[in-house]
Amino acid sequence: MNRIAIVFLLAAAVGTAMLCVPGAALADEIKMVGGITKIDISGPDAKTAAVTLKDNKTDQLVTVIVNDDLTLDKFKDHRIVVGDEIRMKYEVQDGRNISKYFRKTAGC
Amino acid sequence: MKRYLIVLSLLVIAGTAAQAKEHPGKAYIEKNGYQGPSTCESQGCHPGTAKKFLGTVHWKHSSTVDNVDNVEPGKEYGMKNRIYTMCNGNDIVNNLKEIPPNPKTGKTKFTGCNTCHPGNHISDVGSTGRDAENAIDCLVCHSQAYDYRLRKPYKDEVGRVVMGQDRSVKAAIAVGKPGVKNCMVCHEAAGGGVLLKRGFSYTKETDVHAAKKMVCVDCHGAKDHRIPTGYDPNNWANDGVRVGCSDCHGEKPHKDEDNNRHAGRIACQTCHIPRTGGALAKDFTKWTQGSDGFYEPTTLRMEANETAPVYAWYNRTVANTPAFIGPKGSRTDKESRIYPFKLYEGKAFFDRKTGQLLSMDFAPPMATGDTLAGVASAAKTLGIREYDPVSGWQTVYFGSNHLVTKEKALSCANCHAQNGVLNFRALGYSEEEIRKLTSAGIYFEKMAVKQKEEW
């Protein structure tokens, strides 16, 4: 009986936690649109960049790690620059936000 | 000893190849700077190239068109002047300019269809003469070190909107054959956002040619800057040169004769490009306000590879009406083959009096969301005094010619099944033919042998 009660309480606790942090707990990928405020790459051959964006909905600053070569190339030759609005998906891995999708919203 | 000679020979060849990669003229440019096309044409290099370039689609954004219904013979068409519902504007009515201030934020910005034109906007789409030649931005297509921050519109001292260029020595000495990014810097953002219009990305993950490190111009190889294009029903302007799969792969590309027989009536793309993507639909009558206060056409967007194509007979001639732009052809027409198309629908304003689609200047709706003000501005530019705007839909079939796959190509069972990808009824087959075509009996023996060989 005690064991059943413990399992029930654990399930309730997990459920409550998921409801409290819906974005992080229920979805593998978090989506956002925001403007770039900072791009940190460490040189022409850098294979990673830390990019900070201001979430349009919450005004919160979110820093993501960008590892894909196509996007890194766009930082290096300034096809993507500070001020550009970005549509982004990222995952939280080991406490870091890892970019999975990073596109300018603008077109012509 | 022989092995050393071979290695030595390979090193010499590699060294020669590496040397060949450096474009001649580096020392001249480092000494004299880069002034644009005049530098490219100096020292006996590339003589007359700028003048010839002014006659190409990349400069004119138009050409005569000989395979489309309801166009005027001899008149040139293209993004310079076309009206359709992926863009709804064009270079004429939606000319690059500073838009009115947003009432809420007071901010303004530059926008226009001719933002991607490789001139400086003072010498604009289709311009000619010495100033136009000097205005060509050779490096935006040819440099691997172009600083794209510099390719931005600004107002000069007399208030003209000018498109900036990177004419630095650094960019000029890094010239060569255009890479993928040189093409995609314009082509991937067409139609209102990244990968929206044609719905394909060109990466090693999404296209077998990209995986083999081929670049755009390996297929679209230009002569005198005339770029070969395919027969996308919605891409009318062309330089008079065409490209197709068979240019490289031949008419009988398969080892299997049954597959080669299929190629007679089924385009390569049908089996080898089973997916498409990009914008599904747009509404130009109702724009959506973004976080920056500006408005954009409401757009349903999908990723590359996220949607299925529609299949139709196509003889490379195009139906063009206000409600439909797409392929012509039929099963009985021997020039027709079955092709895949990206299906797109656009909502915009039509003139109730004439039934014709009206175009739009994006500046007013981008600032305030007032789409009818955009129609009014475009009508004024075109000299249309009377019109009665009414909203309606247009369907466009875009060619589906990228996202090529070998591994995931359609095979017998993908089409020859009752739940197959081809709608044989819509393609003109009789009920009796459909029963045969959708039965495993049509390929059973062959697949059984193949399965036995593989396992």
* B178-194 per-position pLDDT tens digit: 999 999 999 999 999 99
Listing DSSP states for B303-356 in one string gives EEEEE--EEEEE-S-EEE-SSEEEE---TT-TT-EEEEEEEEEEEEEEETTT-P
Mean pLDDT for B245-254 is 96
* Paired tokens of A96: 């870091």
Q: What is the least distance, in Å, from the CA of B361 to any CA of chain A? A: 13
Q: What is the pLDDT of residues B141-178, one digit of tens each?
A: 999 999 999 999 999 999 999 999 999 999 999 999 99
The pLDDT value given to residue B13: 47
> What is chain B's mean pLDDT, rounded?
94
The pLDDT value given to residue B26: 94
Determine the Cα–Cα distance for residues B134 and B427; give it in Å rounded to an integer: 51
Q: Say what percent of chain B tops pLDDT 90.
A: 93
The pLDDT value given to residue B323: 98
pLDDT band at B224 (very low <50, low <70, confident <90, very high): very high
pLDDT band at A18 (very low <50, low <70, confident <90, very high): very low
B90, pLDDT greater than 70: yes
Say if A82 is an interface residue toward chain B (CB within 8 Å): no
Q: What is the least distance, in Å, from the CA of B142 to any CA of chain A? A: 14
Mean pLDDT for B255-267 is 95
Specify if A73 maps to a domain. yes
Query: A107 and B111 in contact by Cβ < 8 A?
Result: no
In chain A, residues with a C-beta closer than 8 Å to the C-beta of B194 are 103-104, 107
Using CB atoms, pick whichever of B115, B148, B195 lies closest to residue A79.
B148
Specify if A24 maps to a domain. no
Specify if A7 maps to a domain. no
B427, pLDDT greater than 60: yes
Residues 6 or more apart in contact with residue B409 via CB below 8 angstroms: B271, B272, B274
Say if B147 is an interface residue toward chain A (CB within 8 Å): yes
Q: What is the pLDDT of residues B348-395, one digit of tens each?
A: 999 999 999 999 999 999 999 999 999 999 999 999 999 999 999 999
B9, pLDDT greater than 60: no
Say if A81 is an interface residue toward chain B (CB within 8 Å): yes
Q: Bridge-partner residues for B163, per DSSP?
A: B153
In chain B, residues with a C-beta closer than 8 Å to the C-beta of A57 are 291
Using CB atoms, pick whichever of B148, B190, B292 lies closest to residue A78.
B148
pLDDT band at A106 (very low <50, low <70, confident <90, very high): confident
Say if A59 is an interface residue toward chain B (CB within 8 Å): no
Mean pLDDT for B427-453 is 96
The pLDDT value given to residue B292: 87
In chain B, residues with a C-beta closer than 8 Å to the C-beta of A70 are 203
Query: B148 and A56 in contact by Cβ < 8 A?
Result: no
Q: What is the pLDDT of residues B94-125, one digit of tens each?
A: 999 999 999 999 999 999 999 999 999 999 99
A2, pLDDT greater than 70: no
Higher pLDDT, A3 or B439: B439
Say if B113 is an interface residue toward chain A (CB within 8 Å): yes
* Paired tokens of B153: 């519109």
B35, pLDDT greater than 70: yes
Any idea which of A29-38, B1-10, B248-257 has the lowest mean pLDDT?
Answer: B1-10
The complex scores an ipTM of: 0.86
Using CB atoms, pick whichever of B147, B190, B290 lies closest to residue A107.
B190
Using CB atoms, pick whichever of A70, A79, A106 lies closest to residue B185.
A79
pLDDT band at B12 (very low <50, low <70, confident <90, very high): very low
Taken in order B269, B270, B272, B278, the sign of the CA dihedral is positive
pLDDT band at A45 (very low <50, low <70, confident <90, very high): confident
Q: Outline where B173-310 has alpha helix (H).
A: 180-187, 208-211, 216-219, 246-249, 257-262, 268-272
> What is chain A's mean pLDDT, rounded?
82
pTM to 2 decimal places = 0.90
Query: B115 and A77 in contact by Cβ < 8 A?
Result: no
In the stretch 2-31 of chain A, residues with CB closer than 8 A to chain B read: none
The pLDDT value given to residue A28: 81
Higher pLDDT, A23 or B400: B400
- 3-state DSSP assignment of residue B109: coil
- 3-state DSSP assignment of residue B108: coil
Look at chain A and report how many structural domains it folds into. 1
Query: B189 and A108 in contact by Cβ < 8 A?
Result: yes
Q: What is the least distance, in Å, from the CA of A50 to any CA of chain B? A: 20
Determine the Cα–Cα distance for residues B106 and B208; give it in Å rounded to an integer: 48
Residue A82: closest CA among A42, A54, A57: A54
Determine the Cα–Cα distance for residues B337 and B264; give it in Å rounded to an integer: 7
Determine the Cα–Cα distance for residues B387 and B110; give it in Å rounded to an integer: 28
Q: B348 with B396: CB under 8 angstroms?
A: no
pLDDT band at B15 (very low <50, low <70, confident <90, very high): very low
In chain B, residues with a C-beta closer than 8 Å to the C-beta of A104 are 189, 193-194
Q: Say what percent of chain B tops pLDDT 70.
A: 95
pLDDT band at A24 (very low <50, low <70, confident <90, very high): very low
pLDDT band at B215 (very low <50, low <70, confident <90, very high): very high
Kindly state the helix (H) or strand (E) to which residue B390 belongs, with its residue range: strand B389-399
Mean pLDDT for B76-96 is 97
pLDDT band at B140 (very low <50, low <70, confident <90, very high): very high
Nearest CA in chain A to B303: A101
Query: A77 and B112 in contact by Cβ < 8 A?
Result: no
Q: B251 with B415: CB under 8 angstroms?
A: no
B18, pLDDT greater than 50: no
Q: What is the pLDDT of residues B306-327, one digit of tens each?
A: 999 999 999 999 999 999 999 9
Query: A103 and B181 in contact by Cβ < 8 A?
Result: no
Query: A108 and B146 in contact by Cβ < 8 A?
Result: no
Query: A107 and B189 in contact by Cβ < 8 A?
Result: yes
3-state helix, strand, coil in chain B (%, to 5): 30, 20, 50
The pLDDT value given to residue B294: 94
* Domain enclosing residue A92, as ranges: 29-104
CATH number at residue A100: 2.40.50.140
